[in-house]
Amino acid sequence: MAAAGLLTADYAVAAPISKGEAASIIAAVKAVEARWSQDVATRDPVKFASYYTDDATVMNPFSAVDHGRAEIVADMKATFADPNFALSFAPDDAGVSPDGALAWTQGHCVTSQTDPSSHAKVTSACSYLTLYRKDSSGAWKSFQDIATPTPAPKG
C-alpha cells in the first residue's frame, strides 16, 4: 500500500478534457500528418525528421530501429537518395488520451523504393501507428512511429 501511495504522489492525474478539446487535438494532429505527408516530396531528411521529438523511436519494415532525431535524419538521407523512393500516408482513425497529453493516429501508407536485388521499382502498401505529444513549443510531434507491410488494397 505504501508503494502505491508513493506512485500516485509522483504522478498526478490531470482532469479529463472536454469532447470539444479532444476534437480540436485530433484535428490538429491530422493536420500535422497532412503537412508531413506532403513534405515527403521535398526529399529533405531534416524537414522530414522535424515532425519527430528529439527522443523519438521509429520502426519501419526491414529496417533497423531509429532512436532519436539524428538517427532518423541519417536513415532518411539514405532513403531519399533512392530515386524511386516515394511515401504517402493518411490517418484512418485518431484519438487522444483522456487528459489531452497524448494523441495517436492509425492509418494507411504506400511506399515505393528500388529493390536491391532486381533494381526494379517496388510499390508496397503499409499500415502505421503514430503516437504524438507536444514539444516545448506546443507543437504536436511524433515520439513513437511504427509501420508494417500490408496486402495491396483490393480493386
Give percent of the chain above pLDDT 70.
Answer: 89
> What are the tens digits of pLDDT across the range 103-126?
999 999 999 999 989 999 999 999
Label each residue of 19-59 as H, E or C. Answer: HHHHHHHHHHHHHHHHHHHHHHHHCCHHHHHCCEEEEEEEE
Flag the least confident range among 49-53, 87-91, 147-151: 147-151
> What are the tens digits of pLDDT across the range 46-71?
999 999 999 999 999 888 999 999 99
Do 105 and 129 touch, CB atoms closer than 8 A?
A: yes
Question: What pLDDT sits at residue 29?
Answer: 98
Residue 80, C-alpha cell as written in the block:
531519399
Q: Which residue would you say has higher pLDDT here, 97 or 14?
A: 97
Question: What pLDDT sits at residue 6?
Answer: 41
